[in-house]
């Protein structure tokens, strides 16, 4: 008889139960809760960049949010974050790295070291965390006379209001 890990056993039971419901129902672990809150509230305290893990390193996945601390510092899409506050990010989970970048309060400092293609030495940035408003609309303008285009890239609680405001701006042009 082998010993059974109760946590693993319970997780398998929950996942099995959810598989029977529908393909859209998922179980969120505690560390995923913060991400859900950001998606629903549309704001958080941090440095204003989206990251992914590529080749074991946290990497900036798209241009930082306009006006954010990362944007103002000149951080770019594709930059590899190799250290946060002197600690390597190699092999860290996305949640762990994102949590370290976010911190807990507005106005706190975080120092990151970045490896950038074309630069011989890593770049060092000290950023001051700020309130980041997550915008879901990447682009809203006319693509030709009489045809407006709104690029809704993400969807959080404020998306409807953002789309309405974008339509109003287009109407007023």
What pLDDT is attached to residue 36? 54
What percent of the chain is modeled with pLDDT above 70? Answer: 87
Looking up tokens 């980041």 gives: 132
pLDDT at 96: 85
Cβ neighbour number for residue 64 with a 10 Å cutoff? 22
Determine the Cα–Cα distance for residues 134 and 28; give it in Å rounded to an integer.
21
Phi and psi for 33 in degrees, rounded to 5?
A: -60, -40
Is the CB of residue 125 less than 8 Å from the CB of residue 112?
Answer: yes
Is pTM, for the whole model, over 0.85? no
10-residue averages of pLDDT along the chain (173 residues) = 80 78 62 54 79 90 88 94 94 86 86 95 95 80 91 79 91 89
Rounded Cα distance between 10 and 171, Å, is 54
């Amino acid at each position: 008889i082998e010993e059974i890990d109760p946590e693993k056993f319970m997780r398998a039971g929950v996942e099995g139960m959810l598989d029977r419901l529908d393909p859209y129902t998922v179980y969120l672990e505690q560390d995923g809760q913060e991400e859900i809150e950001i998606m629903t509230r549309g704001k958080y305290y941090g440095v204003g960049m989206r990251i992914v893990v590529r080749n074991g390193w946290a990497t900036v996945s798209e241009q930082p949010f306009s006006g954010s601390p990362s944007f103002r510092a000149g951080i770019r899409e594709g930059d590899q974050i190799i250290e946060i506050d002197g600690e390597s990010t190699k092999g860290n989970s996305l949640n762990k790295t994102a949590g370290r970048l976010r911190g807990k309060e507005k106005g706190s400092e975080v120092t990151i070291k970045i490896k950038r293609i074309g630069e011989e030495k890593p770049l060092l940035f000290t950023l001051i965390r700020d309130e980041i408003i997550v915008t879901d609309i990447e682009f809203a303008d006319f693509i030709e006379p009489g045809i407006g285009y709104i690029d809704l890239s993400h969807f959080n609680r404020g998306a409807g209001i953002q789309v309405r405001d974008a339509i109003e701006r287009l109407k007023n042009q």
